[in-house]
Amino acid sequence: MVAIVDRYGRPFEQRTLDEPQTASMVHLQREFAGHPTRGLTPSKLARILDDAEQGDIRAQYEAFEDMEEKDGHVASEMGKRRRAVAGLEWSIEPPLNPTAAESTAAARVAELVAGIAGWQTMLFDATDAIGKGFACLEIEWRRTGRSWLPLAIDHRPQTWFQLHRGSRQEIRLRDHSADGAPLNPFGWITHVHRAKSGYIERAALMRVLIWPFVFKNYSVGDLAEFLEIYGIPMRLGKYPSGATEADKRTLMRALVHIGHNAAGIIPAGMEVDFHDIANGDAKAFEVMLDWCERTQSKAILGGTLTSQADRGSNTNALGNVHNDVRIDLRDSDALQVAATVTRDLIYPVAVLNGLAPDSPERSPRLVFNTRQPEDLKLYADALPKLVQMGMDVPVDWARQQLRVPKPKDGEAVLTFAKAAPATATAAATAQVRFTAQPERADAITDTLSELLQDAADPIVAEWVDQIRGMLASASSLEEFRDALLAQFEELPTDQLQTLMRQALMGADLAGRSVVKSQSSGRGV
C-alpha cells in the first residue's frame, strides 16, 4: 500500500482525521492571556523582544494582541490590509500545462472546496500572519457521503506554539517537552508571512509597529496630563489667620469638589479665587502622535495617503500613487496566502478524496483574481489591433488572461445584436451600403494617398540630397550642424502646402461622390 505523505514527505496518519491534535492538550485551552503592555516601557519592550529571539515567544505575541486591541489606528490599518486579501475573488485552477486528468481533478476539487463552511473566515484568519509572522489554523475533518471535507478550521493563538530551529525553522505545539510537538500532516494550515527576511520571530510586521505604539502611549499620557493642567482653571483658596487644621482641610475639600463638581461649600471668612494660568501649546504632542501614526501607516500600507495619517498633503495624485503601492502589497499578500492554502488545504482535499496528483507540485491550486478593471480594458483595446497586425494570439491564452471560460455545449454566449432588414430591397441596399461602398471609399483613400506621396517624394528627395552633400563635406558634427541650421533655418513648405490643399480638395470631392452614390442606392 502506498503511503500518503505531505509536501515535506511526512506520512499521513489516520488519527488526524479522528480528532484535532489539540483536543488532548487541555493545558493550552486553559491558559489565560497575559497583558505585557500594561506599564510598558522601552526597556521592558526590549526585554520582551530579546526573550522572543532566545526562544520564549509568548510575551511577544501577547504584546502584539494587546497592541491591536489598544491602538485603534493599528487595528484600522491592519484591517484594511487583511480584508483586501480576504475580499478577492478566487478560483481553483489546474497546474500549468495541465493534462486532461489534471483539469478534471481540479474541477472536482473546486466543487468540494465550494462546500467548505467558513471559507472566507479561514482566509481572513490566515492573514493574521501578515502582522504576527505566522498563523496556525487547525483542521477538523469530517466524512460527508463519500468525501472528506473540513468540518471546522479554527484559528489557534500564536502563544500555543514554539519555534524549533533546525535546517528549516519549524512551528511546533507547546506540550511541556523541550522541542515541542510537531504539527500533524494534513491537520493544520500553517501560514508564514514575512514582513522581512529572517527568523519567524523577527520577521513579524508587528515588531516594526510596536515601537511607535510605545512612543505614542507616552505622548498620549503627556497630552492627558497637559490637558488636566492647562484645561482647568487654577483654584486658589484663602483662609484667615488663625484658621484651624480642620478649617484648612474643609477648604481643600471644597477646592477639589469645585474642580470636579462645580459646587462646594466653605466656612465664612474663607475665599476661593480662580486664576487663568499661562497659555500652553499641545501642538508638540500632536506632532509626536502624527509621526507615530504616519510611521505605522507606512509600515502597514506602504504610504499615508490611503488613510488619514497625513492630512497635510492629501493630494489626489499622491493618493493614487500610494493606492498603487497598497495594491502591490495586496497582490503580494494574496500570492503568499494562495501558496499556503494550496499546500495545506487544497492538496490534502485532493489526496483524501482520491484526486491525488502525480506529485504535490501538480496539485490543483488556489488562484486569486487580482486583475484591475483597467487591465481588461487594456486587453480589449490591444488584442484586436495585434490580430490585425498579423500576430498569432492563441485563443486559450486570451481566455486565460481575461478569465473567460469556454462555453459549454448549448450554453448561450454573448453576440453583437444585428437588426434584420425589413424587406428584400432593404437587405440588398444594406449589403451595398456595408460592403461595396466601404470598399470603394477605401480604394479612393488609397489612391489619394499614393498620389500625394508620389507628388511629395521629389521635394523631400531634394532636401535629402542637400543634407547628404553637407554631411559629406563637413569635417565634424559641429560643422555639419552649423551648415544644416544655415541652410534650413526655415523649411520651404510652400510646395508641400500646395500639395496638401490639392489632396484635401480631392478627398472632399471623393467623399461627396461616395455619399451621392449611397443616396442613389437608397433611392433618395
Triad 357, 359, 360: Cα angle to 5°: 90
Q: Based on the domain organization, do 52 and 200 belong to the same domain?
A: yes
Q: Based on the domain organization, do 340 and 489 belong to the same domain?
A: no
Q: Based on the domain organization, do 53 and 184 belong to the same domain?
A: yes
Residue 287 is assigned to a structural domain of this protein: no
- 372, pLDDT greater than 80: no
* DSSP element (H, E) containing 368: strand 365-368
| 46's grid cell | 526590549
Half-sphere exposure of 380 (CA within 13 A, CB side): 7
- 403, pLDDT greater than 50: yes
- 516, pLDDT greater than 50: yes
pLDDT at site 1 = 44
Residue 5 is assigned to a structural domain of this protein: no
Q: Based on the domain organization, do 46 and 182 belong to the same domain?
A: yes
Q: Based on the domain organization, do 340 and 405 belong to the same domain?
A: no
Residue 335 to residues 191, 204, 331, 370: CA-CA distances in angstroms? 12, 18, 6, 10
When divided into structural domains, the chain yields a total of 3
Contact 305, 313 (CB under 8 A): yes
Q: Based on the domain organization, do 64 and 187 belong to the same domain?
A: yes
Residues with Cβ within 8 Å of residue 7, at least 6 apart in sequence: 343, 347, 360
Residue 237 is assigned to a structural domain of this protein: no
Q: Based on the domain organization, do 346 and 408 belong to the same domain?
A: no
- pLDDT grade, residue 433 (50/70/90)? very low
Half-sphere exposure of 453 (CA within 13 A, CB side): 6
Contact 318, 326 (CB under 8 A): no
Q: Based on the domain organization, do 98 and 143 belong to the same domain?
A: yes
Residue 488 is assigned to a structural domain of this protein: yes
Residue 314 is assigned to a structural domain of this protein: no
* DSSP element (H, E) containing 92: strand 90-93
Percent of the chain residues topping a pLDDT of 70: 77
CB atoms within 10 A of CB 82: 22
What is the per-residue DSSP string for 230-294?
HSS-EEEEE--TT--HHHHHHHHHHHHHHHHHS-----TT-EEEEEPPPP---HHHHHHHHHHHH
What pLDDT, in 10s, does the model give residues 178-191?
889 999 999 999 99
Residues with Cβ within 8 Å of residue 127, at least 6 apart in sequence: 81, 82, 85, 86, 135, 191, 193, 333, 337
Give the lowest-confidence range in 125-134, 267-276, 416-425.
416-425
What pLDDT, in 10s, does the model give residues 193-241?
988 888 899 999 999 999 999 989 888 777 676 666 665 667 777 888 8
Higher-scoring residue by pLDDT: 293, 305: 293
**H helix runs in 13-151, sequence order:** 15-18, 26-29, 42-53, 58-70, 72-86, 100-114, 119-126, 129-132
The mean predicted confidence, pLDDT, of the chain is 81
Q: Based on the domain organization, do 165 and 55 belong to the same domain?
A: yes
Triad 280, 284, 286: Cα angle to 5°: 110
Residue 343 is assigned to a structural domain of this protein: yes
| 113's grid cell | 472546496
CB burial readout 339-351, b (16+ within 10 A) else e: ebbbbbbbbbbbb
What pLDDT, in 10s, does the model give residues 348-364?
999 999 887 878 889 99
What pLDDT, in 10s, does the model give residues 7-61?
777 888 888 888 999 998 989 988 888 999 998 899 999 999 999 999 899 999 9
Residue 62 is assigned to a structural domain of this protein: yes
Q: Which domain holds residue 76?
A: 15-21+40-208+329-368
pLDDT at site 82 = 93
Contact 22, 156 (CB under 8 A): yes
Q: Based on the domain organization, do 396 and 434 belong to the same domain?
A: no
Q: Based on the domain organization, do 441 and 507 belong to the same domain?
A: yes
